[in-house]
Amino acid sequence: MRRGGALRSSLMLIPFILLIGFLVYPVAIVLIQGLLQPTGSSFQEVVGSSLTQRIILFTVGQALVSTMVAMVLGVPGAFVLTKLQFRGKNTTRALMTVPFILPPIVVVVGFLEVFGPGGIIDSILMALLGSDTSMFNIATGYIGIILAHAFYNAPLFILMVSASLERLNPDIEEMAQIHGATFTQRLRRIIVPHIRISILAASILTFLFSFMSFPIVLALGEGSFMTIEVQIWNAFRFFDYGEAASLAIIQLLITMTLAYAYIRTGVREREVTGRTSYVRTVNIADLSTPTKILLIVYSSILLILLVGPILAIIRSAVYDPNTHVLTLRGFESLLNPGMDGGLIPMVNSLFYASLATVFSVILGLLLVFSQQSKMRLIPDLTSMVTLLPLGVSAITIAYGLMIAIAVPLGLSTNPWPLIVVAQTLIGVPFSVRAIEITRSKIDPAILEQAESLGASALHRVFFVELPLLAPGILVAGFFSFAMAIGEMSATIFLARPENFTLAIIIYRYLSVRKFVEAGAASLFLVVMCVAAFIIMERISENGYGGTV
């Protein structure tokens, strides 16, 4: 027993050492260099410069607007999903997680295809009005950035707020109604106070997402929109390490504060919400005509925004907007092993993502085990380091890995191991979450049973706990894989040309207007991610897995 305990504690130490070595230490180096020994601009110069102020203002502003838009688009959906009875409701709910696992750069391709110049809507308008010049484009620029952020986060609002609505005992609403409250009074006095916390939590996550968003701003902003994240990358490319580090510090302060606020809301939510009650639903047929029309308009908007870009990727893979012809050139290029071809990036993508998946699942498992530890502080500490990657932007992680590890170790000429490290770190919070969900569903009596039957700690872990956790481990794996294969921010920061992944070459194709090539590579990534999603759903269906 004693030996098992020692083994367990040393196993528990591994993830801490790794996270400290590959995350805390590099970020600390960034901070120290930025503040104490800047090469290039100093912290004061950066903070004082009007450019920085404009960038900060824009970053915060676009994140706020993105949050508002995602909220406005998502909250009604939460009501539809909880209160309305319709066929395919569970499927709809499951599909809401799809955007989340799609690579941002692929979403950019989809957005351009639907909303961009020469895109589907533009083509229809041109055909209708008999015009031969492009007349519609909301994919690029400010609106495009906001909409792409909403693409990711409106579903988040839908899922989080509907989960909260489901916990509102329907009797409570009815008691308000029978005692005289009109619809608006019920909304104001009962429903909004109830879902407030979930809205706040979803808002913080959306703000964080938009605040740290990199590929979307880079690709849809077409170089004319700068967020802190984009500017860190620029500064680094132009060797102004002082500016890069200073911006990273500012960003870190803001994101850490928000991440902390998010954790706090989560705690409070668990305190105030009761059991899940069954919801009383309304049949679509029983709605009034104006409500039905409103519902149709709303679902159409959501459908075009959420499903449109995903489906449009298929068109983008075979239709060349430059020459207006259908072509398989994109796929030829994807299989081309040469300099400009997609084969090497494809192999890179699969290789890095597979390794990152294995590592993040192992780390996730170890973290979940140490979260169960009965030692004081360990569980809290574990939750903290687990969520750390959520509060540190991908660019900052990559930047830290570059200056703290790649440069001293001479890895900068071929830094592929660091790409794997970065992709692993980004996957860890999700794999911990997936495994944790499965673990919480295991009946503790089973484990006690194993213990009382005299199983050693090691035996118990390998023959009892791990098999029970298998579904969670699989979900964690596929989720991490989807996140890793689409990762672009950290990867582009670290990669040399021979390390390019599909996500990176999609971005490069887009910037030289090679749209079909970008489309074909995107289609490949979508297929990988959707396949991962379907497998996760299959595993979760039997009630053991789950991600959100």
Partner 1 sequence: MVNVTIDGMWKEFSDGTAIGPIDLEVRDGELIVLLGPSGSGKTTTLRMVAGFIRPDRGRLLFDDVNVMHVPPNERKIGMVVQSVALFPNMDVFQNIAFALEVREWPHEKVVRRVEELSDLVGIRNLLHRKITEISGGEGQRVALARALAHGPELLLLDEPLSALDPNLRESLQMEIRRIQKELRVTTIYVTHNQDEAFAIADRIAVLNEGVINQVGTPSDLYDRPLNRFVATFLGRGSILGGEVTSCDDKGFEVSFDGQTMHLPGYQEVGNIIELSVKPEDITVTRFGDDGLEATVESIVSQPGRYRVQLKIGKHSLHTFISANTLPEQFRPGERIRITIDPMEVAILADTSP
Rule CB under 8 A: which residues touch partner 1?
169, 171-172, 174-182, 185, 189-190, 193-194, 272, 274, 283
Structure-block tokens of residue 438: 């499965």
Task: Write out the two tokens for 8.
Answer: 């367990």
Report strand pairing: 325-326 vs 319-320.
antiparallel
Nearest distance in Å: CB 83, partner 1: 14
- In the complex, least distance from residue 120 CB atom to partner 1, rounded to whole angstroms: 39
In 3D, which of 518, 188, 187 has the Cα closest to residue 334? 518
Nearer to partner 1, 180 or 290 (CB): 180
The minimum distance between CB 158 and partner 1, in angstroms, equals 23
Is the CB of residue 479 less than 8 Å from the CB of residue 466? no
CA distance 8 to 457: 8
For residues 35 and 390, the answer to whether their CB atoms sit within 8 Å is no
> 165 or 506: whose CB is closer to partner 1?
165
The CA–CA distances, whole Å, from 471 to 152, 373, 485, 513 equal 26, 22, 21, 42
Beta-bridge mates of residue 282? 84
Neighbours of 283 (CB within 10 A): 9
Cα(323)–Cα(179) distance, integer angstroms:
66
Q: Which two tokens stand for residue 95?
A: 């599909």
Measured from the CB atom, is 190 or 447 closer to partner 1?
Answer: 190
Question: Among all chains, which residue has been given the structure tokens 């503040």?
Answer: 35
CB of 239 to partner 1, least distance (A): 55
User: Rounded to the nearest whole angstrom, what is the least distance from the CB of residue 171 to partner 1 in the complex?
Assistant: 4
What are residue 128's phi and psi, to 5 degrees?
A: -65, -40
With contact defined as beta carbons under 8 Å apart, do 122 and 136 qualify?
yes
CA atoms lying within 13 Å on the CB side of residue 366: 20
Rounded distance between C-alpha atoms, residue 548 and residue 73, angstroms: 19
Q: Which is nearer to partner 1, 11 or 181 (CB)?
A: 181
Establish how many alpha carbons lie within 13 A of residue 352's alpha carbon, considering only the half-sphere containing its beta carbon.
Answer: 36
Shortest Å, Cβ 450 to partner 1: 37
At its nearest, how many Å lie between partner 1 and the CB of residue 440? 24
Whose Cβ is closer to partner 1: residue 178's or residue 377's? 178
C-beta closer to partner 1: residue 180 or 410: 180
| Complex with partner 1: residue 181 or 378, whichever CB lies closer | 181
Nearest to 353 by CA among 482, 475, 471, 476: 482
Q: How far apart are CB 297 and partner 1 at their closest, in Å? A: 25
Give the C-alpha separation, 492 to 402, whole Å. Answer: 12
Give whichever of 53 and 185 is closer to partner 1, judged by the CB atom.
185
Q: Smallest distance from the beta carbon of 286 to partner 1, in angstroms?
A: 8
Contacts of 12 (CB under 8 A, 6+ apart): 366, 369, 370, 373, 378
Closer of 149 and 194 to partner 1 (Cβ) = 194
**Which CB, 185 or 323, lies closer to partner 1?**
185
With residue 90 as reference, give the H or E element that holds it: helix 89-95
Nearest approach in angstroms of CB 180 to partner 1 is: 5
Of 50 and 278, which has the nearer Cβ to partner 1?
A: 278
Contacts of 376 (CB under 8 A, 6+ apart): none
Closest CA to 165 of 136, 186, 144, 147: 186
Q: Smallest distance, Å, CB 170 to partner 1? A: 9
Terminal Cα-to-Cα distance of the chain (whole angstroms): 36
